[in-house]
Structure 1
């Protein structure tokens, strides 16, 4: 039986000329592990510390212009330099040639959110821009192009080696995007999920910080139970790479409407959308059709949450669609505030009704005065725009205390409650 590319990678891993693994990084691996598989150990280290790991594949599509051993070595060096420009040392698990014209990168991803794939795509674009610049300077007159794909490594009870290999194959299939059985399998499965509306919805309560009463729920999406796509990271990254993200998010909207009617909840409901969907020409028509179908839905009780750290620029219909949604009665929230420039730019453009402060600001805010100062600054921005503030990712009492002393309006996180099915009756979280 022919060995898979990843098995060959693991077998040749002791050849350090093919692995980007800084020596100071070896402190994470006891000596007995080094010869076994530092890649597997690196991925497991991510999981153990509450992070995610992902495989990114870069395949060169035009490799006829320069195709020598010297060039391939130069290409790898360009990738090493470019990757180190984008990632910090500790975020890189490995870089390996998976073919004569391809590279596989495994990285640590900090955020365990479905929006993580937008960050990865930004990383990919930055790496490729840097690589192309270096190659064009080094090999003037030659033409270069690359196909890319990525996949999160599933954390499960099965062997980590198998999970890495599965993610590698899926990422490589995405990179090729041609008549490829694995890519077609993923496309078929995603199409099946959409056609059958085979999604699960959970809900996490959003709490009034002063009264501890539930004021709203955020709808969270899961794929078919017991499958790889149950994970929102896998589900939404595959939908994005197979150009089915719009269809997926419209189904989430419809199923959320159904849940609201079924449970009879009177609370506000937050539903997540990416700028890709909100900027689509078809989105307003799709939303209007659903409101016509589900006449019991009151748009004023629905919060459209913009859930991406990517810029809203470049989406032709985005601004007009936001205006149209407001005219229908929907309110608008901006997610990930404080995580970077994109969310602040979105606030200035959208002037949202609700601002959600990212977990990166909230984490350990009770022991970090700088973070509390950041919180106060974001509260001033919210006051200027007339926005209600929701703090995300509260996991301990000290963080909740800081929110209370700064008069933050609303909060959500495991400290209050974990995601569950949307209940038919409201309850108090104490």
Structure 2
């Protein structure tokens, strides 16, 4: 009924417009694709949305009352769409999520004003991809690089935190991550036989039906790579509400050869449940546990426990946020598998390699540890305790008094 009403009434509300399609998306959600002449700004579109909401409600009110016994509650959202042959599907998806957000009230007018800039960034792929090296602490060399995204310089969206939070708030996280993955692969350059590219993936994105279509596989094949060269890095800063379905999707990618990492472990957002459910190939330890680890025996003990745990379940530890030689040495001494951080290499483009002098230091560190063979989290002095000396014929009650009074 509602679809027929829209097809009948919209031409009267918008004289001169051309109705291209009216479709029922899901439940009570409908989308109308219209061709309109002239340049439209968000302010004018908002007025059109308000007037169309009133007009549609008035035209269907009587018929709706007869059927349901109550007045209809109509919500209208809008989005501008300038179709380009290259990425029509992506533009339609983006516009649809934008219109839904406005209709449901999750996108304010202020946010809508920023959407035009955000969509222009997506449509023109105006994103900067930088690569940060991940270094083996047991063998030297480079395991691979994590691809990190920056928005355009001098833009409100320059910060990745703002960029991705905004995308999530307006329901456009999938198209943003899609552009990021494509650029990360296209700009990567050559990888060694066993080197990896780490791609950040939001848990919600990996379950998106569009993600499952094999676009990533097509891209890596075009780049001459293989699935085992790609590590999907699942951030722990976002909860996973449906582990069964999430794991079903994850197994689909594992069966193709992709690897999985859990990020931000130890950040305060993480849970052991997600590690147990995801069964990652890599566990990335948050920088909060790495900072000043050389001075903190509790952190060293935690990291050593994580390393033992990781080896028991067949995965490897990557310590993030390494900023000093002392932190690096401590991590190597307790047996961390890999390291990442400004001390080893800042994010850059083209992808950065280890500084030659630092590489030699790391190799010497690896060599000395290989010959030593011991992992240690503490010095002997940190675990020794003072002992009281008593005669062998001293009575137990006297020893007890010594212990209670602390006298020698």
Shorter-chain TM-score bucket reads 0.5 to 0.7
Question: Does 273-282 or 240-249 show the bigger shift?
Answer: 273-282
> Does the CA-based 8 Å contact 1:280-1:315 persist in structure 2?
no
> How far 1:408 moved relative to its partner?
0.9
Paired residues of 1:265 and 1:424 also in contact (CA < 8 A): no
Q: Return the alpha-carbon distance in structure 1 between the equivalents of residues 230 and 259 of structure 2.
A: 7
Residue 178 (structure 1) shift: 5.4
Tell me how far apart the structure 2 counterparts of residues 203 and 397 of structure 1 sit (CA, whole Å). Answer: 21
SS in 1 for 2:343: coil
Which residue of 185, 205, 227 maps to 2:133? Answer: 205
1:304 equivalent to 2:221? Answer: no
**Aligned counterpart, 2:278:** 350
Q: In the alignment, is residue 252 of structure 1 matched against residue 180 of structure 2?
A: yes
Q: Secondary structure at the match of 1:313?
A: coil
How far is 1:209 from its partner? 1.5
Structure 1 stretches of 4+ with a deviation exceeding 4 A read 175-179, 424-429
Q: What is the correspondence of 1:192-271 to structure 2 with a 5 Å cutoff? A: 192-260=120-188, 263-266=189-192, 267-271=195-199
CA displacement at 1:183 relative to structure 2: 1.6
Distance in 1 of aligned mates of 2:270 and 2:352: 36
Can you list the C-alpha shifts for 1:5-33, whole angstroms capped at 9, x where unaligned? Answer: xxxxxxxxxxxxxxxxxxxxxxxxxxxxx
Residues 288/365 of structure 1: CA separation in 2 closer, same or farther (3 Å cut): closer
Check if 1:361 corresponds to 2:286: no
- Provide TM-score, normalisation by structure 2: 0.58
TM superposition shift of 1:265: 2.6
- TM-score, normalising length from structure 1? 0.55
SS at match of 1:228: coil
SS in structure 2 of the partner of residue 214 of structure 1:
coil
RMSD across aligned C-alpha pairs, in angstroms? Answer: 2.4
Q: Structure 2 CA distance, aligned partners of 1:227 and 1:286?
A: 32
Mapped to 2, the partners of 1:402 and 1:354 lie a distance apart of 20
* 5+ residue gaps, structure 2: 1-101, 360-408
Closer/same/farther in 2, CA of residues 317 and 199 from structure 1, 3 Å limit: farther
| 1:324 matched to 2:324 | no
Contact 1:280–1:317, Cα closer than 8 Å, also in 2:
no
Q: Aligned residue pairs: how many?
A: 254
- Residue number in structure 1 paired with 2:202: 274
| Structure 1 position 392 matched with structure 2 position 328 | no
1:170-227: per-residue Cα shift (whole Å, max 9, x none)? xxx9x964562x2212122221111111111001111111344222111100111221
Asked if structure 1 preserves the Cα contact closer than 8 Å seen for 2:132 and 2:351, the reply is no
1:257/1:297 contact within 8 Å kept: no
Corresponding residue number in structure 2 for 1:333:
261
Confirm or deny: 8 A CA contact 1:338 1:378 kept in the other structure: no
> Residue 146 of structure 2: SS of its match in structure 1?
strand
Q: Residue 376 of structure 1 contacts residue 406 of structure 1 at CA under 8 Å; is this kept in 2? A: yes
For 1:250 and 1:413, how far apart are their aligned partners in 2? 26
Pair 414,311 (structure 1): closer, same or farther in 2 beyond 3 Å: same
**What displacement does 1:425 show?**
7.8
Offset at residue 308 of structure 1 (A): 2.9
Question: Which of the numbers 397, 418, 421 marks the counterpart of 2:346?
Answer: 418
- In the TM superposition, residue 353 of structure 1 has moved relative to its aligned partner by 0.7
* Structure 1 CA distance for aligned equivalents of residues 243 and 204 of structure 2: 7
**Structure 2: distance between partners of 1:398 and 1:301:** 31
> After superposition, where does 1:30-429 map in structure 2 within 5 Å?
177=106, 180=109, 182-260=110-188, 263-266=189-192, 267-287=195-215, 290-291=218-219, 294=222, 296-314=224-242, 317-340=245-268, 342-423=270-351, 428=356, 429=358
Distance 1:384 1:327 in 2: 22
CA separation of 1:404 and 1:225: change in aligned 2, threshold 3 A? same
Measured in 1, the distance between the counterparts of 2:156 and 2:185 equals 26
Structure 1 residues 248 and 315: CA distance shift in structure 2, 3 A: farther
